Structure 1
Amino acid sequence: MSSEPMMIRAEGLGKCYRVYERPEDRLKQSVVARWRGLRGQPPPQYYREFWALREVSLELRRGETLGVIGRNGSGKSTLLQMLCGTLAPTTGRVETGGRIAALLELGAGFNPEFTGRENVYLNGSVLGLTQAEVDARFERIAAFADIGAFIDQPVKTYSSGMYVRLAFAVAVNVDADVLVVDEALAVGDMYFQAKCMAHIQRLIDDGVSLLFVSHDVGAVKSVCQRALYLDRGQPVALGETAGVVEAYYSARVQAERAARPAPEAASPELPAQDLFDPADLEAQAEFARRADFQRIRNGQAEFLDVRLTDLDGQPLECVEFGQTVVLRMLFRANQAIALAGMAYHVRDRTGYDIIYSDTEIESRPITDLRAGQVVQTDWRFTVRLREGDYSIAAMLSIPENLEIAQVDVCDFVPIALAFKVVRGETLPLHAACHWQNEVAHRTLEGEA
């Protein structure tokens, strides 16, 4: 257990709202309930309860990063508001330590009639800074926000992007112990988002705790050590980010599948033993064992094996930077399929997607499959990844609308295989990956 001091502890948090069907029911609840209470009678109930959040417990220590994921309406923003003290919980309790700077919904904490400058001082005082302390930070805040002369205009005249620029600049320059960031960053331009994420990483390196909510699961995976998955106000999973994200993806796939008409019944599993020698069958059995973690299948088609080999077909677990390898995927169609798609993700040890490709991107669709047909697909590529540990996720699907990434998932294996990349004879790589370049030099001679 970490010895770092506790920044946030929540136990059994819940938030319940009363929902009235008619305006007069609210009045009845106020008057009649009080009148019956005075007479010693049980009060009536003219409302129904809606629990926006229920039984959420978590801990965040100094220097830790926790992401909160879930679909719209799952209770993410409600949770953050209670943790920041801007919303009182119905049940449970929250304990906090140190200064918390929050970037919640757009414009939260700003007075629209005040100028940007006045709001900087207002927010600073709310966070416990003296005027002299805000004075010392103001130029840094204004430079980070980069809104020019608008700093002296009322914030009601700001665009959404200007709002979030100023709000973020204040939040990250008040020497907070905990930074809480909701979806507000999504309205900024790409340059500002990159600037924000780089600054957040520096704060984390300096020991600031982060509570981060985003629909960008990739950002959560890259920034957060742990994650909490909420669904309809209740916690589903809390733990290491990669595992929680896979639980979230699995739940979404299952929900989408349940909402669709049931597919035609798949043919009984068809034997493929006569196609393979004993070594291949043993490799397929080993694949089935390691692929079982959070695997999703609908029975229409399924992977038999996924392996990484050298150019001679020998299995690989360790790859040198610059080595050309083959990713071999073997699958069987259990029923006739007119068009199938296949994809792979190369992920780092945190589960962050580094490389992706699929058969549509490569213009190699798989068509006219017969029931029982077995297909082997080889992806040949040169590994140009930073040294470290990686895994490959494999997906087999039936495309429906690729413009919006809508597919019917036949088989999804979050961890189809794992491998290690070593540097070999090359110099260190200072990013996640490298792509091939053509470099040309020429000398431009100026006048003497």
Structure 2
Amino acid sequence: MKKPARVDTSCRQAPEKGAAKPPATKGAGLVERLGLAQAWDLAQGEGVTVGVVDSGVDDRHPGLDGVVGTAAEVVTVRTKEGFRIQQPRSPDLDCEGHGTAVAGLIAAQRTADSPLPGVAPGARVRSVRVADGVENASGEALAAAIDRAAAGGAKILNLSFALPVDRAPVRAAVRRAVQGDVLVVAAAGNEGSAEDAAGSGSAPKTYPAAYKGVLAVGAVAADGQPMQKSNRGDWVDLAAYGEEEAVLASGGRGFRSEKGTSFAAPQVAAAAALVRSRHPGLDAGEVADRLVASAAPVGGGRDPRTGAGVVDPFGALTQLAGGEDRSDAEEHASDQAVLPVQPVPEPHPLLEGGARTAVVWSAVLLLAVVVSLLGAPAVRRAARRGWRAGTTAAGRDEQHRHARREQPAAHALERLTGPPAPPPGSRSTPATPLAQTVNRRTHRTS
């Protein structure tokens, strides 16, 4: 069969040119507000692909260099299928700039030419361009784009658009993605009003955010307060920053400022990428539960425009997982971010009966060995004495030598003067005086 001719999807007008530098934002930047420096110490989204169904992604921007994989575009045509899938061609990659901004919030790299990093700079983006614009695409074309983005290993799907009506093909495509363990994140929409903000209005549901299994995202301003135009309802799960955010521009370079839930949703999708990167064993539902449970409440409780609160990437990464069969007290402790106190263990003896007996006998034997070693020299000396009290002959000789060494002066005097004179009345011959002995020796000599 002849291959269908390519549908021309070139831009009718060039994308809006971005500024050379990112526009100033109110207060701290997104990195500081979301605590990304701490979150990036744990994960940056490595190994996770986020599918982006939008107006396309201009990967020529320095911040998206190497981030975007093989892209596709879906075109509505008058055929049986109602759509055609083809590959986008440069430079007509993103005529509106919407998808490029979304992709940059998810996974942009910080470079010398692009100082705006995404929430998950280690993740990759799979872009599917809806060439006619989401508002002009058929339900079949949108469903095909969702199927295409969810295929090929994408673990998260970002849908930054809000349809006012439920379209069966779109609902079916979302259900297929959810059943395939893909976490679907969608913008809640920007149809809110002052009456809605005051609680007196009734905002209708928007899709795909209101579909079962989808994480619906509202928006807050830089100060954390709900954005007035953010849609409200009990189907809104959580929120992110969406008022005057600095984003990447299409056209190959530059920056601009955007607002709305469309730019809050990719922050949540990127936070999910961080969680799935750090905790690859969690399924999509468990990741969504972490994001909702760890969100920072707005105004101290649940708000219909912000759900559980503002997304907290670091909190989602570090939250302790809870069991399903915990007691009410443990559930309450978990809700208050406090670990339940465990009962003090009962004391147990260090050794059981048999072990204690073995240790006692070992100690007795060891003591006997020590005593025998210390007493051996004394036993040998007693044997040499014939087991009689006193010292041995060798010991007496040693004592005699020791006594003579102690009286050297007495022995020297005896050699010079002779033996000491006997006591009076003794019959011993008196010793010759030294002087007489000397005189006799002198007389004989002369």
TM-score class, shorter: under 0.3
Structure ID, larger Rg: 2
TM-score, with structure 1 as normaliser: 0.22
Instruction: Determine which structure has greater relative contact order: mean sequence separation of CA pairs < 8 Å that are 6+ residues apart, divided by chain length.
Output: 2
1 or 2, which has the higher helix percentage?
Answer: 2
TM-score, with structure 2 as normaliser: 0.22
1 or 2, which has the higher strand percentage?
Answer: 1
